[in-house]
Amino acid sequence: MLSPADLELLMTLMSTGGISGFEDAVRGLIRSHAAPLGMLSEDWMGNLRLHIPGEGPRVLLTAHMDTVGILVTRIQDDGLLMVRPVGAVDPSLLPGRRVRIPGDWGTVSGTILSPGMREDGRPWEILRVDTGARSAAEALAAGLRPLSPAFLDGPAARLAGTRISGPAVDDRLSCLALLRFAREVAEGRTSPSFDLWCIWTVQNEVGLRGAEAVAATLPTDYVFPIAVSAAHSGIQAATDLGPLVPGEGPFLRVVDAGGVASPDLVAWAERAAAAAQVPLHRGTSNGESESKPFQARGAHGLPINLPVRYMHSGIEEADLRDHEALMTILRQLRAHPPWRP
Amino acid sequence: MIDPADLNLLTELVMTPGVSGFEAPIRARIRRELPAGTVARADAAGNLLTVWGPATGGPCMLLVAHMDELGLVTTQVEATGWVRFRKMGTIDDRTLLGRRVRVWCDDGPRDGCILAQPASPVAERVVAPSRLMMIDVGAGSAAASGVRRLQPVTFVKEIAVLNGRRLVGRGIDDRFGCLLLLQLARQFATTPPAFPVTLAWSTQEEIGFGGARLLANTGRWDAVIAVDVFAAADGFGASGPLARVRLGAGPVARLVDHGAIASPRLARWVFERAAAAGVALQVAPTGGETDGKVLQTAATHMVALSIPIRYLHSQAEMVDLADLAQLAQLLAELTRVTPPFP
């Protein structure tokens, strides 16, 4: 299981605001942990690229730093803030939630309010953020500006057993997985039998923008996007996605809206999981993964996901046993790599 | 008219499984049909490519037809033995009920059918969305089903020739295109083209052009011709701007669709060659998209050439064999004469 230090890091990662396009704080946090592990660079989009050179094919692991969230679009005369979604946010989950808005002179807290949900499917027109400002002048004086991100607040917490909950399990749990894997490779006595790049990407939730930029500039042999995906929530009926339950193991995202994973890697991962005796499933998703832009350029790609409950709600739930199983499977990249039959 | 042996081959291509993303069987089948000694290469996306004519010199052309077909993948096996699935490609849910299917398990195919409620003379039934539908493989439990998650499912197909001239069945989209490219390969084996021509059978077209995306990112051509279907609107439910395209009235230049507008210079040249070859070419806008869309953005002139097809994406896709023969003739002409550009 996670060391106390890594558990603390995970909690910090989950509590750090960083909606798409506003990843500064989380990038700084990851940079400080990744810098000692290899050659670290930041590209023009803001992706963090950690290179641990090795002899062999180029292998990328990706995880995205950004989360879905909301953005201040306008300050009303009465001081209330109008907002719009960034990424797929379910507006019905927002009223009553606390937000943190980085202002010119520090963080301003606010509450999302809604004078009754509209039935016409346009709830964003009535959602407002109340920061206590009673006029536009007061809001401006408090340092609030249009186009500030509003981070959904909420405590990161350990739940019963091995479950965790927090505002950004998607995809900070995977950010940690990359840090752990890079650390293990960097601390290995021999150089890896592959050219490892760990990429923490930006702007995933608004259309894989960060991953597109990496794929366009870094020729890649194998890519393993590490992410989370909607799990059976316990209150939702089973659908065509199949019920995947946190704690029962990670899953290979064989099919999603962006395409189909490389069959050779699916076979490899299933062999690897069986050899290491960890649970591993096959699943699907209605979204697109960061595999798509790389596969479109000739890479073999396999997205590996952890099942997460209450996706994109700001309070997501995952199981650390799945995270450990994922780490075990990633270690098989070194022990039994897919390019060595 | 189409050669009887080729009609047989088309039927066999239609019957060979190749659900989007799971194209291995159809890829192997197409490879086997290539003329002896052909060097064919499969890329990371599973596209099958053959290159003909001189290695350099003159404009180079790509002809592409997609080998993948509509189908399903299993997503979950219930305790009852029933199997949930998701659609691979655009399929009308109404065409699914009661349909016979085949699940391609690790140890071979298993037959099944999609659940349907008994018919009722009184109740009008609303078709449930496909995410609530299930496949019955005749097993009473998950273990007995032998089915795992994420296995491809094909439709059990019937194919027939109506009135001696119209072919009807599921999956004619785009296996007719695959056949036309095979015919070209045969022609090139004896008479190579005067300029470099690549024939590509692409993958994952029905779920977002995954194969064509890789082609667009890794290859360079001066002209791309996508050979794919064109929804005819002279059948049931026809109306609007599509109504002009009729079965049996010749192949179609797909000049405008939801994804792309054909490159004017290439289209003009295609019309000139069609006139020279005595092929009547229909023209119309349509919905949908082809591989040509993603390939056009890779710095190539593009036009999509089609034959009219009725009842597209249903179990009764219908084409006219005369249109097919005419398109074969046009493609032969387009690769016989060197294009005048770049």
The per-residue pLDDT for range B290-331, each reduced to its tens digit, is 999 999 988 789 999 999 999 999 999 999 999 999 999 999
* Residues paired with residue A48 on neighbouring β-strands, in sequence order: A42, A200
* Yes or no, beta carbons of A282 and B85 under 8 Å apart: no
Q: Which residues of B touch A260 (CB under 8 A)?
A: 20-22, 204, 207, 210
- Asked if A239 lies within 8 A of B132 by C-beta distance, the reply is yes
Residue found by looking up tokens 């699940």 in the block: B103
B42 with B27: CB under 8 angstroms?
Answer: yes
Element (H, E) at B276: helix B264-277
A277 CB-contact burial (10 Å; exposed 0-12 / middle 13-18 / buried 19+): exposed
Q: DSSP code of A120?
A: S
pLDDT digits (tens, 9 = 90+) for B267-278: 999 999 999 999
Residue (of B249, B254, B248, B250) closest to B231 by Cα position = B254
Average pLDDT over residues B246-273: 91
Q: Which of A239, A282, A298 sits opposite B214 (nearest CB)?
A: A298
Average pLDDT, integer, range A239-252: 80
**B244–chain A nearest CA distance, Å:** 34
User: Higher pLDDT residue, A241 or B292?
Assistant: B292
- B22 shares contact with chain A (CB less than 8 Å): yes
CA–CA gap between residue A149 and residue A153 (Å, rounded): 12
Of A242, A260, A282, the CB nearest to B21: A260
Chain B contact set for A299 (CB, 8 A): 44
b (16+ CB within 10 A) / e for B14-23: bbbbbbbbbb
Q: Where does the pLDDT of residue B281 fall: very low under 50, low under 70, confident under 90, or very high at 90 and above?
A: very high
Write the secondary structure of A264-318 as one string of H (helix), E (strand) and C (coil): HHHHHHHHHHHHHCCCCEEEECCCCCCHHHHHCCCCEECCEEEEEECCCCCCEEE
Structure tokens at B267: 């289209």
- pLDDT-based confidence at B231, cuts 50/70/90? confident
Which segment of A321-325, B55-59, B152-156, B317-321 scores lowest on mean pLDDT? B55-59
Residue from B88, B149, B209 whose CB has the most chain A CBs within 10 Å, to mutate: B149
**Separation CA B132–CA A238 (nearest Å):** 9
Q: What tokens appear for A147 in the block? A: 């186009």
Q: Does B210 touch chain A (CB under 8 A)?
A: yes
For B194-210, what is the mean pLDDT?
A: 96
Residue A328, min C-alpha distance to chain B (Å)? 22
List the beta strands (DSSP E) in B11-158: 40-42, 48-52, 61-66, 71-77, 83-88, 100-105, 108-114, 134-136, 152-155
Comparing C-alpha atoms, which of A312, A224, A318, A323 is closest to residue A19? A312
Pairing relationship of beta strands A222-230 and A58-64 according to DSSP bridges: parallel
DSSP percent split of chain B into helix, strand, coil, nearest 5 = 30, 25, 45
Residues 6 or more apart whose CB falls under 8 angstroms from that of B258 comprise B287, B288, B289
Separation CA A278–CA A21 (nearest Å): 36
